[in-house]
Amino acid sequence: MAGLSEIHDVALQRLRDVDQRYTGNRRCLVEALAETDAPLTITELLDARSDLAQSSAYRNLAVLEEAGVVHRIVTSSDHARFELTEAITGAHHHHLVCTECGVVLDMTLPDELEVLLHDALTAVAERATFHGEHHRIDLLGRCNPCATS
């Protein structure tokens, strides 16, 4: 994963590319997301950074998402979860999403499987005359606590 200084540099450039500033609140959100191993809800972000106002967090997350700094993961729970994008972290991964409690876990596929997946998706895109840029996989199911309760 990229260091915090590199993350800030890429975030700054991506925001400039969409004519936005890298404000203190946006920087604070990026740092909170960089400091965790799991995607966070707005509530979890606000708990981690008590100096942020809820309305400001929503607004700034929308701008960060538009700039390609933050990725929103929609779950079956009431709250979306947010994480830094692969372009920011340099870490390619997918997700396991619990359809009952909404927990999101990162998963990394073996390199050989990523190559096969990339090749298969590229072939599908070419047949549809579609120009794919990257892929994401969310495996939906139930986490162990939800499956055994």
pLDDT tens per residue, range 113-141:
999 999 999 999 999 999 998 888 989 99
Domains in the chain (CATH in brackets) are: 1-91 (1.10.10.10), 93-149 (3.30.1490.190)
List the alpha helices (DSSP H) in the chain. Answer: 4-17, 24-34, 42-48, 54-66, 86-89, 111-127, 144-147
CA distance 73 to 81: 5
pLDDT at 25: 93
Q: What whole-number distance in Å separates Cα of residue 91 and Cα of residue 137?
A: 14
For residue 17, pLDDT beyond 90: yes
Q: Tell whether the model's pLDDT for residue 46 goes beyond 70.
A: yes
pLDDT digits (tens, 9 = 90+) for 58-103: 999 999 999 999 999 988 766 789 999 998 988 899 999 998 888 8
DSSP code at position 75:
-
**How many CB atoms are closer than 10 A to CB 17?**
10
Assess whether pLDDT exceeds 90 at residue 8: yes
Q: What is the pLDDT of residue 123?
A: 95
pLDDT at site 2: 72
Which tokens sit at 126? Answer: 């070419």
